[in-house]
């Protein structure tokens, strides 16, 4: 006599859901590890130290890597807060109203009148990490 095991539809979807949720859970855990709060309450962003030279647009910041130095700027335009996402003719350009900033963050074209906020950073050479300190 052969016994047939049936899985109910509810149980099937629970199992399937458990399998499908794993990649999202893993991605969430990874992002939590990338954004770390210090004991002082300031946040840190962690990036690999071996970023290629040039301008890197991240979610909240712009990382400019030149030989032997990083410049970390806020990606929020000082005019009305749009996210700066373009680098052209050696300038960072805001897509909303066209303000332009040099790679040190100084405003070179309005309507924004203030420089971009700079963030400090430290280097964890043992773990090959760039640690950006958000204030």
Q: How far is the CB of 77 from ligand FES (least distance, A)?
A: 3
Q: Which of residues 20-79 bind ligand FES (CB under 6 A)?
A: 77, 79
How far apart are alpha carbons 104 and 116 in whole angstroms?
8
Of 64 and 112, nearer to ligand FES (C-beta) is 112
Signed CA dihedral, 96, 100, 101, 107: sign only: negative
Q: Which stretch binds ligand FES (CB under 6 A): 29-37, 67-75, 90-98, 123-131?
A: 90-98
Q: Does the protein bind ligand FES through residue 80 (CB under 6 A)?
A: yes
How far apart are alpha carbons 47 and 37 in whole angstroms?
15
Q: Which of residues 102-121 bind ligand FES (CB under 6 A)?
A: 111-112
Of 57 and 70, nearer to ligand FES (C-beta) is 57
8 A C-beta contact, residue 120 and residue 106: no
Task: Pick the closest to residue 117 from 59, 60, 35 (CA basis).
Answer: 60
């Amino acid at each position: 006599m052969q016994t047939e095991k049936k899985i109910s539809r509810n149980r099937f979807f629970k199992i399937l859901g458990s399998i499908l949720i794993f990649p999202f859970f893993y991605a969430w855990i990874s992002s939590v590890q990338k954004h770390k709060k210090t004991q002082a309450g300031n946040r840190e962003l962690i990036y690999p130290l071996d970023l290629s030279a040039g301008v890197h647009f991240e979610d909240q910041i712009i990382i400019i890597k030149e030989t032997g130095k990083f410049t970390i700027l806020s990606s929020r335009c000082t005019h009305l807060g749009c996210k700066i996402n373009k680098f052209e003719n050696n300038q960072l350009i805001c897509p909303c109203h066209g303000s332009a900033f040099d790679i040190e963050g100084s405003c070179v074209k309005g309507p924004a009148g203030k420089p971009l906020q700079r963030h400090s950073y430290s280097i964890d050479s043992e773990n090959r990490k760039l640690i950006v300190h958000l204030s």
